[in-house]
């Protein structure tokens, strides 16, 4: 970890991620205006001293809406990923550790699920469960589980045949001890890295669902929904689409670059050099 900041990827990723996290934690408190306050005289304004990022079709201050929307957007991404990674890793570790027909059965089912694209799968689940933030989050996490299960299984498999695991088996250790003390600590880093990168996908899927009207409902300040609502006014004031769109991009990019950098620095070939 000492050399974590040696690459531009890590520096940019961490910088973007800090901005996003700052907005997610303090955003609602530092927003200059009420995000829901209409101002009929100042509709669809460009950036000015009064409204730094301009206003939307109802004259609401965009900066304030972005800041208040940050917590729910980031929470959606992180929440969906945590749940998805949790479900996926448990399935993957069980499959990887037990092997044999248990493994084959689980993996064949997951292969079938993996064949469905993430977004389509999410849409399917949301359609069944009905719209709303919580359901969208659950849908994303379920869509993530098969991929995470595959990654955690391969991480477990690569560790399972190492000599130190075989040494533990030969010693007569219990299966639970072997998984907890020998396998998991060494299989964890690829899972953590993948999870970090997946937060960005979750944010984007969340935004997409918001845009399609299946996620957050108006007057929520969720970023994807903001893009959707402002779409018809795009040519009168591009700012009201560009600002939430860029925010989504920055958040996604931040998590993605940070994950990449994390993977590089956790790679033992590079960190113990």
| 48: number of Cβ within 10 Å | 11
Does 267 participate in binding other proteins (rule CB under 8 A)? no
Q: Are 44 and 240 in contact (CB under 8 A)?
A: yes
Distance CA 233, CA 270 (A): 50
Q: CB-based contacts of 143: which residues, under 8 Å, 6+ apart?
A: 84, 118, 119, 121, 122, 125, 205
Nearer to other proteins, 162 or 231 (CB): 162
Scanning 54-62, 71-79, 80-88, 265-273 for contacts with other proteins by CB under 8 A, the matching segment is 265-273
CA torsion sign for 272, 11, 257, 29 is positive
Minimum distance from residue 53 beta carbon to other proteins (Å): 43
**Alpha-helical runs (H) found in the chain:** 8-30, 62-98, 100-114, 118-129, 133-160, 163-171, 175-177, 184-211, 223-230, 239-266, 268-271
Binding mask 104-123 for other proteins (x = CB under 8 A): --------------------
Minimum distance from residue 93 beta carbon to other proteins (Å): 16
Nearer to other proteins, 49 or 172 (CB): 172
Does 164 participate in binding other proteins (rule CB under 8 A)? yes
Tell me which DSSP letter residue 233 carries.
G
Does 3 participate in binding other proteins (rule CB under 8 A)? yes
Does 166 participate in binding other proteins (rule CB under 8 A)? yes
Does 167 participate in binding other proteins (rule CB under 8 A)? yes
| Residue 28, phi-psi category: left (phi > 0), alpha (psi -120 to 50), beta (remainder) | alpha
Nearer to other proteins, 236 or 270 (CB): 270
Scanning 82-90, 104-112, 156-164, 242-250 for contacts with other proteins by CB under 8 A, the matching segment is 156-164
Minimum distance from residue 107 beta carbon to other proteins (Å): 18
Q: Are 88 and 59 in contact (CB under 8 A)?
A: no
Total residues binding other proteins (CB under 8 A): 19
Distance CA 46, CA 55 (A): 7
| 130: number of Cβ within 10 Å | 10
Scanning 90-98, 103-111, 132-140, 157-165 for contacts with other proteins by CB under 8 A, the matching segment is 157-165
Sole binder of other proteins in the list 29, 163, 235, 269 (CB under 8 A): 163
Binding mask 168-197 for other proteins (x = CB under 8 A): xxxxxx-------xx--xx-----------
- Sites of contact with other proteins (CB under 8 A): 3, 162-164, 166-173, 181-182, 185-186, 268, 272-273
């Amino acid at each position: 970890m000492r050399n974590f900041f040696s690459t531009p990827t890590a520096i940019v990723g961490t910088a973007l991620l800090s901005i996003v996290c700052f907005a997610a934690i303090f955003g609602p408190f530092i927003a200059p205006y009420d995000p829901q306050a209409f101002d009929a005289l100042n509709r669809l304004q460009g950036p000015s001293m009064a409204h730094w990022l301009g206003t939307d079709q109802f004259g609401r201050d965009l900066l304030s809406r972005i800041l208040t929307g940050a917590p729910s957007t980031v929470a959606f991404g992180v929440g969906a990923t945590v749940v998805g990674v949790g479900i996926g890793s448990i399935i993957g570790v069980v499959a990887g550790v037990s092997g044999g027909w248990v493994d084959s059965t689980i993996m064949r089912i997951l292969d079938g699920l993996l064949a469905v694209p993430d977004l389509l799968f999410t849409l399917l689940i949301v359609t069944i469960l009905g719209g709303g933030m919580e359901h969208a989050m659950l849908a994303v996490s379920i869509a993530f589980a098969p991929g995470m299960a595959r990654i955690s299984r391969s991480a477990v498999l690569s560790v399972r045949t190492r000599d130190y695991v075989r040494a533990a088996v030969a010693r007569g250790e219990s299966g639970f001890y072997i998984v907890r003390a020998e396998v998991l600590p060494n299989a964890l880093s690829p899972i953590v890295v993948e999870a970090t990168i997946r937060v960005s996908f979750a944010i984007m899927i969340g935004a997409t669902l918001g845009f399609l009207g299946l996620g957050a409902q108006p007057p929520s300040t969720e970023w994807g929904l903001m893009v959707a609502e402002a779409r018809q006014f795009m040519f009168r004031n591009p700012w009201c689409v560009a600002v939430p769109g860029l925010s989504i991009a920055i958040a996604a990019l931040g998590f993605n670059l940070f994950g990449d950098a994390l993977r590089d620095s956790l790679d033992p070939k590079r960190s113990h050099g």
